[in-house]
Every structure is written in C-alpha cells, then in structure tokens.
Amino acid sequence: MKVAYWPGCVSRGFTPELHGSMAKVAPLLDIELVELDRGNCCGAGVIAEHNQELADTLNARTFALAQQVEGAELMMNICSTCQGAQTECQERLDANAQYRAHVNETLSSDGLTYEKGLTNKNFLWLLVEEIGLDTLASKVRRPLTNLKVGPFYGCYIVRPRNRLGIDDEHPRDHYMERLIEALGGTVIEYAGMRKCCGFPIITMNKDASLKQAGTHLGDAMDAEADCLVTPCPLCHLNLDLQQPLAAKVVARKLEMPVLHLPQLVGLALGLDPKDLGLSRHVVKPTSVIDWSTSVVASAA
Amino acid sequence: MSSTTTAPRSSVPQAFKLRVRRYDPESGQAAYWDEHEIELEGHRSVLEGILQAKNRFDGSIGIRCSCRQAICGSCGVRINGEPALACHTHLDEAIKSAKDGVIEIEPMGNMPVIKDLIVDMDAVHWKKVRRVTPWLIAKQPVPEREYIVDRESMVDVTQTMACIQCGACVSDCLAMEVDPGFIGPAALAKAYRFVGDPRDDARHVRLNDLSQDPQGIYDCTHCFKCVEACPKDVNPMGQIMRLRRIAGSDEQIVDVNNGHRHEEAFTTLIRDYGLLHEAELLPRSYGGDSWFGKFHPAAGKELLSSLPAIVKAVVKGKVSPTKAIFGHKIAKRDLDSVKRIYERVEGKPQRYELNLYIVGEDE
Amino acid sequence: MPEHDVLIIGAGLAGQRAALAAAQAGASVAIMSKVHPVRSHSVAAAGGINAAISLDDDWRSHAFDTVKGSDFLGDQDAIEVMCSEAPGEVMHLEHMGVTFHRNEKGEMDLRAFGGASMKRTAYVADITGQALLHVLYEQLMKHHEQVERYEEWFTTSLLIDDAGRCVGVIARDVRSGRMESFLAKNVILACGGAGQAYKPTTNGLIVTGDGIALAYRAGAPLMDMEMVQYHPTCLVESGILITEGARGEGAHLLNANGERFMEKSAPNKMELASRDVVSRAEQIEINEGRGVGPNKAGIYLDVTVVPRKRTLEALREIVNLGRDFAGVDITREPIMIRPGQHYIMGGVKTDIDGRTPIDGLYAAGEVACVSVHGGNRLGANSLLDTLIFGRRAGEHAAARSASMPMPALNTVSRVQADEAGIDAIVRREKGGRRVSEIKDELGETMNRYAAVFRDEQGLQSARETVARLKEEAGSAWIDDRGTVFNQDVLGALELSYMLDCAEAIVLGAIERKESRGAQFRTDYAERDDENWLKHINITATADGPKVSYSPVNITQWEPEERKY
C-alpha cells in the first residue's frame, strides 16, 4: 500500500535509526512510503500551548500536503507525539467548517487546502488495522522466540481514547502486546507501560522527568524484560538517551535497551540488527543482539 | 460510558464478581482483597454492585457515595486500575477491562487511604484547591445588577465550574506521582475558572503566582491522564495549557521553570527551521539565542548538565556533529510558507482560540 | 468542648448561605455536615433559580405564581419575603462568582419553568445547583477564619437544656468515630429533606431526614409533611432526575399514541403546568394503559423538538444522563420518564426568620417548612428558598447571639447516652433483619401508598407497615464493628430518622381528607377550602404523634380555582 509518510522531526534528528529502520522495513511489508519532506513539525503540543491557531494551521498544512499525494490511502506517522498532537488539531479542524475555512484561508496563498476527514495512522495502527497481524506473522523470518519485550506506548497515542478512536473495535491501547505476540515474542507487562516518559518536562522539572523515566525502566527490569519497544521517539529520548541520568535520579543501576517499533518489526522480519541501527542507541541492546545472534546460531 | 448507542438493554440480571480492596486501619493488618458475587443487569453501575454487596454480604465495606448520577463527586475509585466514578461506570463496561473476569475496585491513588475505598481528599485534593485562591476576586466597582460579560465567556468557565471535585484526575496524575507537590489538574482547572472569568480582577496575579511556583502550571507532564479520568469533560490538562498560553503569550510572564522560554524557543525554532532542531532547543530554552550566543545566567548549570546527553548522541553516531550544530530544515520555499503562516496567525491583533466546548461540533 | 455563636447542621445551599450570613454579621460560626459540603444534595439541583430580575417582571407576579403553585396552602407573608428578596439574592450570588448563563447582550439569561407566568429562571446550563453550591463553598474557603468547618461529622442529637432551649448538638466524627458535644447559642438545621424514605427517589443516599427527625424528637412540630412532590420527569428505572429545564426549553410529553396529553389537564401551560398537575396527568396516562415502554410504565419526554445546538449547550448534563444512565441520545430520540419522588414541601415549622418554636433552634431549606411551597413547590423555587431563608436564619441567629451569653450545660451524660446507643447497635446479634432490608421495604411502601394518588386504605396499610418497621429497626443488625468510617452504624441511625419522617408523612396524608397540591386522595378528590385550607402539624409526644392545625397566612391572594 502507498502511504503519505510523515516521519516527524526527531526521527530525522536525534533518532535517525528510527527513520532508517522504517525505510528498511517498509518494502518487506509492501508499504510504499511517499515521504512528506515538505511537511512541518507537528508542534508536539508545545506550539498549541503558545498559540492554538498556529498549531492547527501548521498541521493543516502538513495534512493538505498529505492529501495531495496521489494514490496514497492514508497518512502514516512513526511518532506517538505526532499522532496525538496532529489528531488534536485535526479534531478541531474537522469539527467546525467555519474554523476550517478560516485556517484554509491562511493556507490559500500556498495553494493548499485541508479537506475534512484525513486518515492519519501511526505505523502501529497501520500494522494492525491495514496490514493485519496474520499477514505480518506470515512474513516473520526470525520469530522473537524467548525475547521478553515490554511495550512503552507514550501518552499521546493512548489518551484521550475518544479523540484517538480507541474503542472496543479498535483497542489501539493494546496493539503493542498483540504485535509482540504476532512476532513471536513474549509480552512483559509492567506498571509504566502506558505512563508518561517524562520528556515534556525535561527542561522544566528535570528531576521529576527523569524520575518518571527511571521508574518505568526500573519496573521493566524488575519484570525481567529484555528490552522495551516504543512507537515514540520522544519517549525514546528520555528512556534511552537520558537513561544514565535517570539511573542517577532513581539511584539504581539501569540497563534497559529501548527499541523503536520498526526496529523490533525489522528484527522479526529477519533484518540485521546493525542495519536497523541498534548500535546507535545509548544503552547498548546487548541482550537483543545476543538474542539475535543465538537465534542465528541455532538456525545454523 | 461514551457509547451513544440506543440498543435495547437487557433486563435480565447477571452475575458479576467484584474484587474490592479492603483496608481497616483499626485492625493493624495490611490491605487485602475481598471478593463478592453480585447480580444486576449489565447496564447498572459498579456503585450499585458495591452497594448490593454491602447490603447483602458485608455492610462494613467503606465507600463514600450519594447521588448515584455523577454529580456529587463522592464515589471516585479505581476500577481495573483506572480512575472513575463508581456510579458512572456500567458493570458490563467494567467487565470488559477486567483482567481475569473479576471487576477490581481500589481506592484512588495519590491520596492516603483512610478505610477501604475512602481516601483522605482533604490532605491532598482540597489542600491543593485551597492553594489557588479559589474564589472570585471581583472587579470593582461591583455593579448594581449583574456584570455584563460575553455569553461565550460564561459558557467557557462553566466547563471548569462543572468540575465535581471527585478527585479522579488527582488519583492518577502522573506528574503528582513523581512530584507530590505538583498543584495538579483539579486545582489548576479551578484556577482557570477564575482566570477565564472576566469578572475576576486578579488574572495577572493569579497567573504569575502559578508561574513562579515550580510545581505550578509548568510542572504538568502533558500525559492526558486527567483528560481521560474526568467524568465531567472538564479537560483539566487543556485548561492548564490555556493557563500557560495566557500567562506566556498574553501576559508575558516568565516562569521559574523555564517553561515559557522553552515554548518560545520551540515555536521560534519551527519558524526558523520548519522542523524541530533538538540541539538548538536546549540553549534557546535556557534563554540564549544559540549555543554560540548568550545564556540566561541561571541557565548555565542546567544547560551544562544536559551536554553529556548531546555529546553521547554525537559519539554514538546518532547524530552527526554537523547536524547537532546546524540541524535539519525543510526546503526554502516550504520554510517561506511556514513563515507566512506564522506572520499571518501571529500578526493578528488578538489570539483566536476555537473552543469546542463553546461552539460544539457541526452536525 | 467547642463553642460557637451559631452552629449550622448541614452544608448544602441553605447551610452554607446561613454560615456566610451569620459570619458577615459578626458571629462566631461553625458549619457541620455528615459529608463534605460539596457532596450535599443541593449539588443535584439542575434547572435554575427563580427571581423577578427581568425589567418587565415584578416580584408580585412571582409571588402569585408561587401561591397558585402551592394550591393556596403556602403562607403568603413568607412567599412575599422570598419573592421580593429574590432579585437581590440572585445578584449577590452573581457578584460572588456564579457563572450564570448570559444572553447576547451579556445580561443574565432567563428560561421558562413550570407554573411561571413568564421567563424568570436564571441558570447555569443544567448544573445550577452545583454551580451555586461550589461558589458558596469557595466563599467558605475564603472565610475560613470566620467559619469553622466540621466536615464529615454526623449529628446524633440536639442538646436541649432544662428550659427547653436548644443549646448545641452531639455529633460523631465519622472519620475517627469519636463523639463530641458542641455548645452553641443558636443551632440552625439545614440538612435537607427525607427522599430516601422513598424508593426510588431522585434524592441522594445521604438525604435521610436527619434534621426533620432531630427536631421532631426534640419536640418541634412538623408541618405540611403530607405534601410530597413527585417530579414529572425521572428515569423509569433508576429514578434519576431529568431537569424541568428540558420542558422549559420546549420539550414535549407524549403518551403511547404520540399525543401531547397535557392539553387535557393544562391546555394553556401544557408541559409547563405545575409539577403536581403534570405528574398526575402522567400517572393517569400510565394507569389507563397509554404509557410507553416495558409494562407501559413510562411516558416519553421528547427533547428532540428543542434545537440540538441549544440542547447541547443548555442541557448538557441531561444529555450525559440520558446517554450514561438510560442509553438514549436525547437529542435524537425521546426518553422514557415517569413521576418520581423528589421533594418534601413539609418540614420543621418555622417563621420567616427560620425560627422554630424551640428557642435557639432554627431551620432552613428543605428541612424546614416556612411554608413557601404549601401543597406544591414550583420548579426553581427550592434553590431560592434555601438561599433566602438560609440567609435570614443566619442573620437572625447571629443577631440573637450578640445579645446572649454562651449557654452552659454539662453534656457528659448526654454524650455517653448517644455513645451507648451506637454501641448497642454495633453489638447487636445477627438475629432480626438487616438495616438495608428494612430501608428497602420502607421505600417501596411509601412509593406505593404515599405517592401521586393516595387513599385511606393504602395510607392505613402504610401506617401499619411503618409502625412494624420501626419495631424491626429496633433490633436490626449491621456488620461493621469498627469506629473509623463505620457507615453501617450511621445507616442504622439514618433509618431511624427516615422512619420518623415516614410516620409523619403518612399521618399527615391520612389526616388531610381532601385533594390539594401534591396530596391527591382518590377518596376525597376535590379541594376543600372550607375544611382544609390549613396546615397540619405533627408533634412527637410521650403518647405518640399528635396532630394539630395552624392557619394559612393569606395577605393578598384569596384562594381561587387553579387552572393551567
């Protein structure tokens, strides 16, 4: 399937391994990525905090660009925060025709118009709802046997449920568990899996921020996870990049690799850990690499 | 509870198992679980289930409750780990999120338990409410008749007025979990009720107060837990963001957490690059105009402590040194287009804000 | 032992308003409530508050509507006080911060309500009670130095001294179980009605007639107790209230044939006739087989005729209630309702300053009977009643306190007696019935025999049942043996309060051999001004309840036929 692909900022900035692994994984799943390289930052809720109309208009611009991609079935993102921030803006744009017209008026000088009703799905949702976990499972070359994986969703992709379309038919706040199982792995549930990583207040209350990250990482260690997986690169920054600092704040040793969602999928689809950028993490995913080596060894 | 279906409801009672967290402070024993099987129609509430257990099997189960219609705010609890009003949660909804076919009911979090499902709201929730000067400081002179104010403004503050002080948002506030001193969602929503009220004379003072408190409006982690928990659509986090917006953008208040600077930094970065430039965000957030520019004096230490993370990212090959310094940006014509949006929207004499609570959704 | 000039029992609208008024008058004030003040049942009042604030309105018109609504049983001097002071009170509340809905000019908007000759109901969407209650509580927090708050203290009895004066109360700290006596120069009862004596009821579980029973036991007369209001629009299953504001905004009532049957009994006011009239009309439709839904036990309330946008803004709460408690989107389809117990017009007899015949004891709000509601209360007059008479009681009690010494009384034995009474309940063997069973039977009995339509036979049977239940309550057992938050034992005390109220209601209904307001006797179907244009008072004596009468105060409106 062809999608208007919105990679977000961080996947092309501080977590390039996310963008890279997505590019590697897509063809294996017959996803054609048409990158929205003209799109702009979603604002991460911060621009909305400054000026809501500005955030709405900026996102309407990206949406309008997505709607111009010919043959694309939908817009896909790879960042929980983009998903949440964009959906919030879209909610307002879709709810009120007058407001939509008002925002489109601002966009008009660039020949852009946002039309109500864009479908914008995170890669996670797309895997479950568009590709299907059965199809995905059939493509698995290296099942995640014996790999104990803890999901870390990121707030923006699980709350609020109504806005994000989470309901009985679309239990999107449980897709990660299903996905890990479909890839052959073992799901590790732990207290922090749907909590906040702390990133939004890292510059405002560093202690509280790192305490959040550290607590969740510690909980995952106590639950004996080999690694975490997250669809959110901002969570990744606090959980991986800041892990050494978080360890100091919670005063315990932390050694918890955190994978991006496409990396985990890529591993199961048989890609080389190196190609997926696993070596670029601050916390070396030794357990995961060892695991993949052992799988390769036993296969040999 | 958000379902708007009008499918016929079953009038046949069915059995539900309830697992209730019990704690008796007089027993000297730790808290424990207690199970009861009750029989009610699926659309009846968890509260009705608890009351049936209380009336039939064990009258000592402690729970505050009164109105049974989600207006008195007494019966805040956690159901299957999530905060809710017991009277506002159907049994057949609750059973769906039950882990093992048993509906689990616990006291709310972030507040000390007094007995069973009863928590000490005064020690936490009300204390925080009292912190925000929770009464109108009326503009003078007080008119003879009513204050003449915009119709929309009264509808707007009625959203926060509709808070029933049940504590569900406080129960699971993730910021409060790691920082108990955070003023928190309910009290800050209450603060908006006055900040947004055109009859109040202390807008700036209130906002300044909440900005200079390190555990004030800039201590919220933006996790949406309160938005999800609220049974009355008060949208506490949304109100906190509005407090920030008014404090920072309208009242030009510089807060003690660097929150406003961070927000300005973020916003101007997107104007300048179209995309987020993480490395540049830090110095700008700390009051400088770049790594090579001048910093807010107090920010130096904070900034330096963030350096290792950046350096690590560069060393790890996550980011090339060039990218770390110069960032990535979108093509010029797109950047121009983004800048035009900034100019047009920010150039308006007054900030416009669509409030769906006021205007509603189109048919 | 805590001492206060004015001690208020109950922290709903009447209690909080009384506290603020007394504090403002300079008295040392305390307010005590068995629940946190914002949990008080005033919070559930939805539709609005009446006041002739419109420039083309006149308080006399409001007063006449109220007199007519009361079926001429209301005391007109009290009604004049309430209606003439209403505009000032509502403006005072607005100045305090109540977020009253505005019109396009920015002035307070007014909506239509039952029995009113013009739009005079100020409102905050359909959460007016909540908005008022929370704003008053804001003021209590503001004036915390002037008003002491005893939150979650349960009053077990009034302290009456040898001279028959009320000098304080005995109460139990719900949290610790500790009993304590409180001395006060004046006590104001403001603890609401007794709806839980009925099942179902719109009233919260805390509305158990505590104040009515405490005063009754202390020897104060109860007045108009037979006048029990059935609200016309309650959800069929749960009894949850759907605000009259819905009809105020234009909603229709329909029977199974899709007919607006109100045209038969109220051709002019239709759905906006007074509540007793509408509830009776609905009950007739149901009784005659034109009801809707299972067992044809309901009536359709059709809100879809109100513009959807208006409903979503001005009736938000019942949109939610419909969705969450009945599974119905009221903006798209009619919702099934029926009459349900809602309010007690009667209560502790007071004068226009809230004074009961017991020295030092005041009452205000639903616990009291001034009487401004007479045989039937108009919608949106209850909030007004609580505020006007709460304030007046507070002011009067404060003024009285200024010129009197703090009473002296050795309360040790009284506290011990109440403590012993509670211990006895806690220690009871599991022999008789459970408290909850007795309460259920009481509620069902009242709802069957002391409801919209009544007759001698049913009422006599209710009287016997209530008497038996009183017996059984004496040996009813509970589970909880603890002291911390022992809600079980408080439930037993509440049951005894409700039984006292029920006794008075049934006695009053048996006594009044006519049909007036909410009392409709199928065996005495006409209003009989010649014999029954008078209040019925019930007083507890050593020989049981005693009935007496008092005249209705008529100032300017002679009784006439009541038509809507």
By DSSP bridging, strand C299-302 and strand C335-344 are: antiparallel
Give domain status of residue B263, yes or no: no
Classify the C-alpha dihedral B93-B96-B98-B103 as positive or negative. Answer: positive
Coil, strand or helix at C70: coil
CATH no. for C234-339: 3.90.700.10
Q: Could you give the domains of chain A?
A: 2-122 (1.20.1050.140), 139-299 (3.40.50.11810)
Last residue of a domain, one of B230, B256, B282: B256
Q: Is B272 within a domain?
A: yes
Query: d(Cα C383, Cα C373) in Å, to the nearest integer?
Result: 12
Q: Is residue B136 part of a domain?
A: yes
Cβ contact (<8 Å) for B6 and C102?
Answer: no
Q: Give the closest residue to C337 by CA, choosing from C377, C304, C369, C297.
A: C297
Secondary structure (3-state) at B299: helix
Q: What is the pLDDT of residue B285?
A: 75
Q: Are residues B208 and B287 in the same domain?
A: no
Any bridge partners for residue A150, and if so which? A228
Domain boundaries of chain C, sorted by first residue: 3-227+345-402, 234-339, 412-526
Cross-chain Cβ contact C99/B88 below 8 Å: no
Label residue C442 exposed, middle or buried (CB < 10 Å: 0-12, 13-18, 19+): buried
Question: What mean pLDDT, rounded, does chain C reach?
Answer: 97
Does residue B328 lie in a domain region?
yes
With CA atoms as reference, report the closest residue to A149 among A174, A172, A183. Answer: A183
Q: Tell me how far apart the alpha carbons of residues A183 and A128 are, in angstroms, rounded to a whole number.
A: 12
Task: Decide which of B306 and A22 is more confident.
Answer: A22
Query: SS3 of C229, please?
Result: strand
Check if the beta carbon of residue C82 is closer than 8 Å to that of residue C372: yes
The CA distance from B322 to the nearest CA of chain C, in Å, is 54
Q: Confidence class of residue A286 from pLDDT cuts 50, 70 and 90? A: confident
The average pLDDT across A65-70 equals 97
| CA separation, residue A84 to residues A79, A231, A232, C523 (Å) | 9, 12, 11, 67
**In 3D, which of C186, C157, C172 has the Cα closest to residue C19?**
C186
Does the pLDDT at position B122 exceed 60? Answer: yes
- B69 vs C481: CB contact, 8 Å cut-off? no
CB B226 within 8 A of CB B220: no
B33, two tokens: 């679980």
**Residue C166 bridge partners (DSSP):** C160
* Tokens 């199809």 belong to residue: A135
From C116, C40, C62, C152, select the one nearest C388 (Cα to Cα).
C62
Question: Which residues of A are less than 8 Å from B286 in CB distance?
Answer: 203
Return d(Cα A100, Cα B361) in angstroms, integer: 12
Closest residue in B to A204 (Cα–Cα): B257
Question: How close A10 gets to chain B, by Cα (Å)?
Answer: 7
Q: Residues B110, B140: one domain? A: no
- Cβ distance B96 to A168 less than 8 Å, yes or no, reads yes
Helix-then-strand count for chain C, H and E: 16, 19
- For residue C560, which amino acid is it? E
For every residue of C455-493, DSSP letters joined together read -HHHHHHHHHHHHHHHHHHTT-B-S---STT-HHHHHHH
B81 and B147 in a single domain? The answer is: no
Q: Is residue A260 classed as helix, strand or coil in its secondary structure?
A: strand
Instruction: For residue B10, count other CB atoms closer than 10 A to its CB.
Output: 11
Q: Please check the confidence at residue B44 and state whether its pLDDT lies above 90.
A: yes
Alpha-carbon span C298 to A88, nearest angstrom: 41
Strand pairing of C361-363 and C335-344?
unpaired
Instruction: Read off the CATH number of the domain in which B214 is found.
Output: 1.10.1060.10
C-alpha closest to that of C507 among C476, C466, C448: C466
Residues 6+ apart with CB under 8 A from A271: A21, A24, A25, A28
Alpha helices in A108-253 (DSSP H): 123-126, 133-138, 161-164, 175-182, 206-222, 233-236, 243-250
- Cβ separation C484–B115 shorter than 8 A: yes
Together in a domain, B240 and B276: no
Return d(Cα C240, Cα C133) in angstroms, integer. Answer: 20
Mean pLDDT across B288-298: 52
Q: In CATH terms, is domain C3-227+345-402 a member of 3.50.50.60?
A: yes
Q: Which residues span the domain enclosing B113? A: 14-119
Distance CA C523, CA A219 (A): 73
CB C51 within 8 A of CB C384: yes
Partners of C39 on chain B (C-beta within 8 Å) are: 64, 66, 72-74
Q: Give the global pTM.
A: 0.96
B104 domain-assigned: yes
Which chains would you list as touching B if contact means 3+ CB atom pairs under 8 Å?
A, C
Q: What is the pLDDT of residue C308?
A: 95
CB-based contact B232:B190 (threshold 8 Å): no
Q: B130 and B94: one domain? A: no
Q: Which run of H or of E encompasses C447?
A: helix C435-449
| Cα–Cα distance, C177 to C170 (Å, whole number) | 13
List of E strands, C208-262: 222-223, 228-235, 252-254
Kindly list the partner chains of chain A, i.e. chains with 3 or more CB atom pairs below 8 Å.
B
- Is C297 an interface residue toward B (CB < 8 Å)? no
Show the beta-strand stretches assigned E in C83-241: 110-111, 121-122, 147-151, 153-160, 166-173, 179-189, 222-223, 228-235
Reported as a pLDDT band with limits 50, 70 and 90, residue B5 is very low
Cα separation, B201 vs C316, in Å, equals: 29
CB contact under 8 A, A41 and B219: no
The answer to whether the beta carbons of residues C479 and C488 sit under 8 Å apart is yes
Q: Which of C123, C89, C102, C105 is nearest to B197 (CA)?
A: C102
B330, A96: Cβ pair inside 8 Å? no
Mutate to test the interface with C, among B64, B65, B113 (most CBs of C within 10 A): B64
> Is pLDDT of B311 > 90?
no
Region B31-44 average pLDDT:
97
Q: Which residues of B touch A53 (CB under 8 A)?
A: 345, 351-354
Question: Could you confirm whether C275 is annotated as catalytic?
Answer: yes
B220: three-class secondary structure by DSSP: coil
Q: How many CB pairs under 8 A join A and B?
A: 221
Per-residue pLDDT tens digits for B223-263: 999 999 999 999 999 999 999 999 999 999 999 999 999 99
Judge: B145–C142 Cβ closer than 8 Å, yes or no: no
**B245 contacts in A (CB within 8 Å)?**
49-52
Question: What is d(CA C105, CA B147) in angstroms, rounded to the nearest whole number?
Answer: 11
- Contacts (Cβ under 8 Å, ≥6 apart) of A50: B245, B248, B249, B263, B264, B266, B267
* 3-class SS of residue C310: helix
Does a structural domain hold residue B261? no
What is the per-residue pLDDT across A155-213, written as a single tens digit (0 to 9) for each? 999 999 999 999 999 999 999 999 999 999 999 999 999 999 999 999 899 999 999 99
Find tokens 């006291």 and name the residue: B107
Mean pLDDT calculated for residue range B127-141? 98
With an 8 Å Cβ cutoff, are A203 and B223 in contact?
A: no
Smallest CA–CA distance, residue A282 to chain B, in Å, is 7
Same domain, B60 and B75: yes
Q: What does the pLDDT profile of chain C (564 residues) look like in tens digits? A: 999 999 999 999 999 999 999 999 999 999 999 999 999 999 999 999 999 999 999 999 999 999 999 999 999 999 999 999 999 999 999 999 999 999 999 999 999 999 999 999 999 999 999 999 999 999 999 999 999 999 999 999 999 999 999 999 999 999 999 999 999 999 999 999 999 999 999 999 999 999 999 999 999 999 999 999 999 999 998 999 999 999 999 999 999 999 999 999 999 999 999 999 999 999 999 999 999 999 999 999 999 999 999 999 999 999 999 999 999 999 999 999 999 999 999 999 999 999 999 999 999 999 999 999 999 999 999 999 999 999 999 999 999 999 999 999 999 999 999 999 999 999 999 888 999 999 999 999 999 999 999 999 999 999 999 999 999 999 999 999 999 999 999 999 999 999 999 999 999 999 999 999 999 999 999 999 999 999 999 999 999 999 999 999 999 999 999 999
Residue B325 burial class via C-beta count within 10 angstroms: exposed 0-12, middle 13-18, buried 19 and up: middle
Residue of chain B nearest A52, judged by CA positions: B353
Do C81 and C379 contact (CB within 8 A), yes or no?
A: no
Q: What's the whole-number average pLDDT of chain A?
A: 95
User: What's the pLDDT band for B4 if we cut at 50, 70, 90?
Assistant: very low
Residue type, A157: I
Cβ–Cβ < 8 Å for A172, A164: yes
Confidence check on the interface: ipTM exceeds 0.85, yes or no: yes
As given in the structure block, the two tokens for residue B249 are 């953008």
- Expressed in percent and rounded to 5, the helix, strand and coil fractions of chain A are 55, 10, 35
Instruction: Describe the strand order of the beta sheet including A120-122 as a list of residue ranges.
Output: A32-35, A2-6, A74-77, A120-122
Which residues in chain B are contacts of A106 at CB distance < 8 A? Answer: 341, 344-345
Interface of B with C in 71-130 (CB under 8 A): 71-74, 88, 114-116, 118, 121-122, 129-130
Is residue C231 within 8 Å of C222, Cβ to Cβ? Answer: no
- Residue A298 distance to chain B (closest CA, Å): 30
CA dihedral B77, B83, B87, B89 (to 10 degrees): -140
Which architecture, in CATH terms, is C412-526? Up-down Bundle (1.20)
Residue B151 vs residues A286, B198, C102, C249: alpha-carbon distances, Å: 61, 11, 5, 18
Domain boundary among B256, B279, B301: B256
Q: C239: closest CA among C277, C201, C278?
A: C201
Same domain for B243 and B133, yes or no, is yes
**Is B3 a residue whose pLDDT tops 50?**
no
Tell me, yes or no, whether B298 and B322 share the same domain: yes
Q: Which two tokens stand for residue A122?
A: 């995170």
The domain tally of chain B equals: 3
Give the contacts of A214 (CB within 8 A, at least 6 positions apart).
Answer: A246, A247, A249, A250, A252, A254
Which among C149, C275, C338, C463 is annotated as catalytic? C275
Confidence grade of residue B281 (pLDDT, cut at 50, 70, 90): confident
- B139 close to C (CB below 8 A): no
Q: With 80 as the cut, is the pLDDT of residue A223 above it?
A: yes
Say which CATH number the domain at B91 has: 3.10.20.30
State the average pLDDT for chain B: 90
Strand partners, C153: C173
Helical segments of chain B, H only: 46-56, 91-94, 127-131, 151-161, 168-171, 174-178, 185-195, 203-212, 225-229, 236-245, 259-273, 278-285, 299-315, 321-326, 332-346, 356-359
Tell me the pLDDT tens digit for each residue of A31-51. Answer: 999 999 999 999 999 999 999
Segments in C228-315 forming alpha helices (H): 245-248, 262-265, 275-287, 308-314
Q: Using pLDDT thresholds of 50, 70 and 90, give the confidence band for residue A293.
A: confident
